[in-house]
Chain A
Amino acid sequence: MKKVNTIFFFLLLFLNINIVLAENSQKIHIYDLWINEAPPTATVLVAYVVLKNNSKRLMTLNSVSCPLFSSIEIHRSIIKNDIASMERHSMLEIPSKSTIKLSPGDFHLMLFNPKIPLNTHDTPIFTFSFLDGTQIPVTATIRKRKDMMH
C-alpha cells in the first residue's frame, strides 16, 4: 500500500510539473529571436525578439542570459535632434494580452563579449527570466546583414 502511495505521489508531482510548464509556455510566447550578423571582431552584438503576453496579468522580463555572452542588457535606441543615443532598461514590462516587438532602431538586446564569432548556421539558446520566476529557453537564429531590415 505504501508503495502504491509513493508511485501515486510521484505521478501527481510529475503531472503538476507538466501543468506548470504548460502554463508558463502559454502565458508568455517568445518568438522570432534573431541576432544580427556582425564583423568577427565585434565585441557587442544585437538581438531582436517578439514577446507576447497571453496571460491576464503583467509580465516583467528582468533578465536574459546566454552562455555565449558575458552579459546581456535591454536597451532602447533613441534619435533626438539628430543625436543617436541608447538608454538602458533594467526590466521590460509586457502588459496583459499584448505584444512587444524588439526591433532595429528601437528596443533591443545588447549582447556583450561573444565567446565565439557567430555564423548563420549557429543556433544559440537564450533564457528569458521573468519577475514571477518563469524561465523560458528560446533558440536564436543569426541573420545576414542584408536581411536586417526585413
Chain B
Amino acid sequence: MLTKLSNSKFLIPAMAFLVVLATGAGFYISLKQSQNRQERSEVSQGLFWPNPKQIKDFSSEDHNGNIFGSKQINGKWSFIFFGYTNCPDICPITMSVMVDVYRNLTTEFDDIQTIFVTVDPERDTKEKLSSYVNFFDKNFIGLNGEPENKNSLVRQIGIAYFSNKEKDNYLVDHSASIFVIDPKMRLIAKLSPPHQLEKIIDQFKNIKRFVDEKG
C-alpha cells in the first residue's frame, strides 16, 4: 500500500497540501493566542482572568459601626486598599489617588465604592478609622482587617503584612496594590503601583468592558 502510495502521482501534491495545511493551522493558532494575549494586555496586566476568585459571604463592621459584608459588596464595583492610618507616606498617596478615581468614576457610574481596610486593627480604632476615611471622602468605607476571621477580606484576598509591635511607633509593611471586586463578587483585578488617576480610570473602563462582554 505504502509502495503504491509512494509511487502515486498524487504523493507530492498531497504532501504539499499537508504542509500548507499544517502551516496554516499553526499560523491560525499562533494568531489566536497572540490576539488573546493582546486582548488581556489591553484590559489590564493585573486582571485575574479566566478564573477570578469568588468572594465568599462575610460580615464585618464599618467605621460607623454598621454591618458591612457580602450584601454591601454584591452589585457594586469595589476598589479596596489595605493600609493603616499611621502610615504617613504610601497610604495617603494611594488614598489621594483613590479619591480622584472615585470622584471621576462616580460622575459616570453609580455602582462604585471605595473601601479602606486597616492592617493595623489594634491601633486603628473605629474612631480613628472614621476620622481617616472621612478626611479623604465622606463616602469612603473603613473596615477593620479582622485577621482572626477566616472570611475577612484580608484573609480571602490573601493580603500579606508584617509589623514589629515591640517597637514604639511601629511600622507595618503591607500591600501597595489596589484590589477590584466586580458586582458578581469576584476578585477581578489587582492594580499595582505607581497609582495614577488616568491609568486607573483607563484600566477600570477596560476591565468593566471586558467583564461585561464575558459575563
> CB-CB < 8 A to A52: which residues of B?
none
> CB-CB < 8 A to A128: which residues of B?
none
Residues B96 and A38 in contact, CB atoms below 8 Å apart: no
Residues B194 and A145 in contact, CB atoms below 8 Å apart: no
Partner of B88, one of A41, A45, A85: A45
> CB-CB < 8 A to A149: which residues of B?
93, 96-97
A82-B176 in contact given A44-B86, A145-B99 (Cβ < 8 Å): yes
A119 to chain B, nearest CB (A): 13
When each residue 98-126 of chain A gets 1 if its CB lies under 8 Å from chain B and 0 otherwise, what string results? 00000011001011100000000000000
A77-B89 in contact given A82-B176, A84-B176 (Cβ < 8 Å): yes
Give Cα distance in the complex from A84 to B82, angstroms.
11
Count how many chain A residues have C-beta atoms less than 8 Å from C-beta atoms of the other chain.
28
With an 8 A cutoff between CB atoms, is A17 at the interface? no
Within 8 A of B (CB), among A66-92: 75, 77, 79, 82-86
B29 to chain A, nearest CB (A): 33
Partner of B160, one of A40, A83, A105, A111: A83
> CB-CB < 8 A to A105: which residues of B?
89-90, 93, 194
